Copies of this chain bind each other. A is one copy, B any other.
């Protein structure tokens, strides 16, 4: 397959395919036609065929798609065939919620450490993840292999910490802090701006 030709719009739809196929697997369904998947996902069947053909996943006439194979194939494209070590910076409610989210672990995302400035949290273990002093983060990253850092701390400190992470070789940042980060281009940032999302909802409600 030639992934260069795959548009951002298709990429954005992949996690959703993966999620639906995972649900089918959990329910023991072995195969599915594009039209049945279409009804479930509220996407046209031709869209589904087009998207999946791009990744070399061709359904068989009269059989449809093999759910397990398709799930596995999309998982590979999404990079889920490897495991990721993740640290969480900010051990407040949000950081704790993320550390406790079973779905992530199931997909190979392993939370290996949390960091905070709060002395009451440092040294504690939260949902099996130890909270370290934020000042030790550079040393931790030198000694341990970490793929992704989650920023779940107030925006006042987020940019400075992001710079420290980038300097210490972190390649992926999942940013919940309410700020856009400006980092070297080898660092990939995925933003979850919750306030922006809530405002989008209030915009739609206002209409």
For chain A, what secondary structure do more than half of its interface residues adopt (helix, strand, loop), or is it mixed? helix
Please, which residues of chain B bring their CB within 8 A of the CB of A190?
Answer: 197-198, 200-201, 204
A195 & B97 in contact (Cβ 8 Å cutoff): no
A195 & B107 in contact (Cβ 8 Å cutoff): yes
Interface size class of A (residues with CB under 8 A): 35 or more
Which residues of A are interface residues toward B (Cβ below 8 A)? 3, 11-12, 14-16, 18-19, 41-42, 77-80, 82, 84, 92-94, 96-98, 100-101, 103-104, 107, 109, 147-148, 171-172, 174, 178, 180, 182, 188, 190, 192-207
28 A–B contacts, CB within 8 A, in A order: A14-B199, A15-B196, A15-B197, A15-B199, A19-B193, A41-B180, A42-B182, A78-B199, A78-B206, A79-B199, A82-B206, A84-B205, A92-B100, A93-B97, A93-B100, A94-B94, A94-B97, A96-B97, A97-B97, A98-B194, A101-B195, A103-B195, A107-B199, A109-B202, A148-B202, A171-B205, A174-B201, A190-B200
